């Protein structure tokens, strides 16, 4: 909290922060364990991440209300890293991602994350939701000896092969969890739905059919009732090279998720977060968490919203949330070993359903446009290949689609007052260029200008006052056309350039090639100069005659 905020901070504010912190902590505990297990690591690592990342982001982040920790969005990429490289390399990738996030904050590119197309974010978010949901099918049905695979189709085949091993007690436990999650919100909004969805089926399993379902204890050996130990991972240049792309995906995804969460918080509180400070806080959290066995973390939209709805006033609510989770770990960790995996499955399935954004997916799909292609491609690659490829291809397609759309915006319109008297010395044509002249439109500009010129005049006047931008490629195409035209004896006059565009032409050499007498502030001045040249030529002709 700043000094100004501390002046207004009263006991009632502390009470609100305490209540909201405890509430979010209760929500965060089952989610932290569930996300960790779904990512292929032990549940306590999710708890450690919740404690450390939650504390650091609350203290250092760019939003007063942000709650950080493990999130569902990370599950596919973290699981893939664990399956391919192992848990120790996941820690290295998380630490590298933290360094990248800090670099992003220093480079002040926090706002650039918002330029990622909606079709890409909806595509990979919905794909992640499918992976999370399908990943819990084996726990829901209590299937035995199911191995987690890297690819979606492999996991589906694995589930199909082992489906005969289903456990009726696991199914009963999962159904009780589903009913609890659906009913509790209708009874009371004050009851933490995910905690209830975890506790009620666990109590039923313990009381009525103990030892008949797989639990955290039987699968992972329980959760240690101790603080995490500090351990610096063994980092080599080979590891850095090997894990660079996965770490970059973690950092990018973490930046997107945390900033989206901060934007949601802004909308709920009418405040404004600091994007680059938020990335810095997330970076520090992801550097420190792996040193204590924690997995990558980011801002959690659901937990942040819960924090605000519970009445949070300051950053202290996030700190209290972390302390509460720590105290719970120290006091009640042994009891977590009795939690059935089938009780965790409905929680993750509901998280996946809420993440899927089905309505937005259908909306973009129904557009039947290039955005629809980007959406479906990103979604399919996320599900059937991996998130890394999906984001790269999705962004590439989005960029190509953007260029295609922009290429149609460039216009070259012929003027209405041209002189095409072929007996005149300086007959001319005027052209007004409208729109962006950059690498995506340069080819279309060249074609449009060339196609428009028939019975080539001796002078061309290019009115560029309505050009919105010019890049090096656009300048090169324009320069090439001008040099070809002047080489054949013609002359080009350019009007309406701003200072920035004029500077670009001076640096490229086009200004020197044409000469300062070829640039005019407006079209009327250029036409007047052509008229003066025509008059002077006529006088010379009369004298010579």
The tens digit of pLDDT for each residue in 13-23 reads 888 899 899 98
β-sheet bridge partners, residue 298:
69
Residue 540 reports pLDDT greater than 50:
no
Q: How far apart are CA 476 and CA 470, in angstroms?
A: 10
Tokens 């003066």 — which residue?
532
- Decide: 32 and 47 in contact? Cβ < 8 Å: yes
Question: What does 473-517 look like in DSSP terms, one character per residue?
Answer: HHHHHHHHHHHHHHHTT-EEEEE---HHHHHHHHHHTHHHHH-GG
Tokens 């987690």 — which residue?
148
Per-residue confidence (pLDDT) for residue 3, from 0 to 100: 46
Q: Encoding tokens for residue 259? A: 């900033």
Q: How far apart are CA 200 and CA 195, in angstroms?
A: 9
Per-residue confidence (pLDDT) for residue 437, from 0 to 100: 85
- Decide: 244 and 85 in contact? Cβ < 8 Å: no
Phi, psi of 353 (to 5 degrees): -65, -45
Per-residue confidence (pLDDT) for residue 517, from 0 to 100: 87
160 — pLDDT class (breaks 50, 70, 90): very high
State whether residue 461 is helix, strand or coil: strand
Q: What is the side-by-side order of every strand in the sheet holding 491-495?
A: 411-414, 428-437, 459-470, 491-495, 519-520
Q: Encoding tokens for residue 469? A: 């931008």
Residue 44 reports pLDDT greater than 80:
yes
Residue 193 reports pLDDT greater than 70:
yes
Mean pLDDT of all residues belonging to the chain: 86
Q: What is the mean pLDDT of residues 33-38?
A: 92
Choices 3.30.70.250, 3.30.750.24, 3.30.70.141, 3.30.1540.20: CATH for 411-544: 3.30.750.24
Greater confidence (532 vs 364) lies with: 364
423 — pLDDT class (breaks 50, 70, 90): very low
Point out the least confidently predicted range of 2-6, 82-86, 424-428: 2-6
Name the packing angle between helices 301-309 and 11-38 (round to 10°).
160
The segment(s) of the chain belonging to CATH 3.30.750.24 are 411-544
What is the β-pairing status of strands 428-437 and 411-414?
A: antiparallel
Contacts of 218 (CB under 8 A, 6+ apart): none
Contacts of 172 (CB under 8 A, 6+ apart): 204, 209
Tokens 């080979």 — which residue?
238
Greater confidence (239 vs 110) lies with: 239
Query: Smallest Cα–Cα separation from 139: which of 78, 71, 214, 73?
Result: 214
49 — pLDDT class (breaks 50, 70, 90): very high
Q: How far apart are CA 409 and CA 517, in angstroms?
A: 30
% of the chain at pLDDT higher than 70: 92
Per-residue confidence (pLDDT) for residue 388, from 0 to 100: 74
Q: What is the mean pLDDT of residues 467-486?
A: 86
Contacts of 144 (CB under 8 A, 6+ apart): 162, 165, 167
Q: Encoding tokens for residue 408? A: 């149609």
Q: What is the mean pLDDT of residues 491-517?
A: 88
Greater confidence (193 vs 442) lies with: 193
| Residue 269 CB burial class (10 angstroms; 0-12, 13-18, ≥19) | middle
% of the chain at pLDDT higher than 90: 40
Point out the least confidently predicted range of 412-416, 512-516, 522-526: 412-416
Greater confidence (187 vs 544) lies with: 187
Residue 31 reports pLDDT greater than 60:
yes
- Return the percent helix, strand and coil in the chain, to nearest 5: 70, 5, 25
Residue 124 reports pLDDT greater than 90:
no
Per-residue confidence (pLDDT) for residue 293, from 0 to 100: 93
Tokens 């044509």 — which residue?
429
pLDDT digit string, tens, across residues 306-349:
889 888 899 999 999 999 999 999 999 888 899 999 999 999 89
């Amino acid at each position: 909290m700043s000094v100004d905020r501390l002046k207004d901070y009263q006991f009632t504010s502390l009470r609100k922060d305490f209540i909201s912190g405890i509430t979010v902590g209760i929500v965060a505990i089952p989610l932290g364990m569930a996300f960790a297990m779904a990512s292929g690591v032990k549940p306590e690592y999710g708890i450690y991440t919740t404690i450390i990342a939650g504390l650091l982001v609350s203290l250092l982040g760019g939003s007063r209300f942000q709650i950080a920790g493990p999130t569902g969005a990370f599950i596919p990429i973290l699981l893939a890293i664990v399956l391919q490289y192992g848990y120790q390399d996941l820690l290295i990738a998380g630490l590298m991602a933290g360094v990248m996030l800090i670099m992003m904050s220093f480079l002040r590119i926090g706002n650039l994350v918002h330029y990622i197309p909606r079709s890409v974010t909806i595509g990979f978010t919905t794909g992640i939701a499918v992976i999370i949901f399908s990943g819990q099918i084996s726990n829901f049905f209590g299937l035995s000896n199911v191995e987690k695979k890297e690819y979606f189709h492999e996991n589906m085949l694995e589930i199909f092969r082992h489906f005969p091993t289903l456990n009726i007690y696991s199914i009963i436990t999962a159904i009780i969890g589903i009913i609890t999650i659906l009913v509790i919100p209708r009874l009371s909004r004050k009851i933490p739905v995910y905690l209830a969805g975890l506790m009620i089926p666990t109590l039923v399993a313990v009381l009525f059919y103990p030892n008949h379902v797989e639990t955290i204890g039987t699968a992972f050996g329980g959760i240690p009732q101790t603080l995490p130990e500090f351990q610096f991972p063994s980092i080599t240049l080979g590891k850095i090279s090997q894990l660079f792309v996965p770490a970059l995906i973690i950092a990018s995804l973490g930046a997107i998720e945390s900033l989206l969460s901060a934007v949601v918080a802004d909308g709920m509180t009418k405040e404004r977060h600091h994007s680059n400070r938020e990335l810095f806080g997330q970076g520090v959290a992801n550097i420190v968490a792996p040193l204590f066995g924690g997995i990558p973390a980011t801002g959690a939209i659901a937990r942040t919203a819960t924090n605000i709805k519970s009445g949070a006033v300051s950053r202290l609510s996030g700190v209290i949330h972390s302390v509460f989770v720590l105290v719970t770990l120290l006091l009640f960790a042994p009891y977590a070993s009795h939690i059935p995996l089938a009780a965790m499955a409905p929680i993750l399935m509901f998280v996946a359903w809420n993440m899927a954004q089905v309505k937005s997916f259908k909306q973009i799909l129904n557009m039947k446009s290039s955005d629809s292609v980007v959406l479906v491609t990103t979604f399919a690659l996320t599900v059937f290949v991996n998130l890394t490829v999906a984001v790269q291809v999705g962004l590439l397609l989005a960029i190509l689609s953007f260029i295609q759309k922009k290429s149609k915006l460039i216009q070259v319109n012929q003027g209405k007052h041209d002189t095409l008297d072929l007996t005149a010395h300086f007959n001319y044509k005027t052209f007004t260029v409208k729109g962006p002249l950059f690498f995506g439109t340069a080819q279309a500009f060249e074609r449009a200008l060339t196609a428009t010129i028939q019975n080539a005049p001796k002078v061309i006047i290019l009115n560029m006052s309505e050009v919105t931008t010019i890049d090096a490629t656009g300048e090169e195409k324009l320069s090439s056309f001008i040099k070809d035209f002047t080489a054949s004896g013609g002359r080009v006059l350019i009007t309406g350039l701003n200072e920035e565009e004029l500077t670009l032409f001076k640096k490229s050499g086009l200004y020197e090639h044409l000469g300062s007498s070829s640039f005019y502030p407006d079209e009327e001045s250029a036409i007047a100069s052509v008229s003066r040249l025509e008059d002077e030529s006529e006088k010379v002709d009369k004298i010579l005659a």
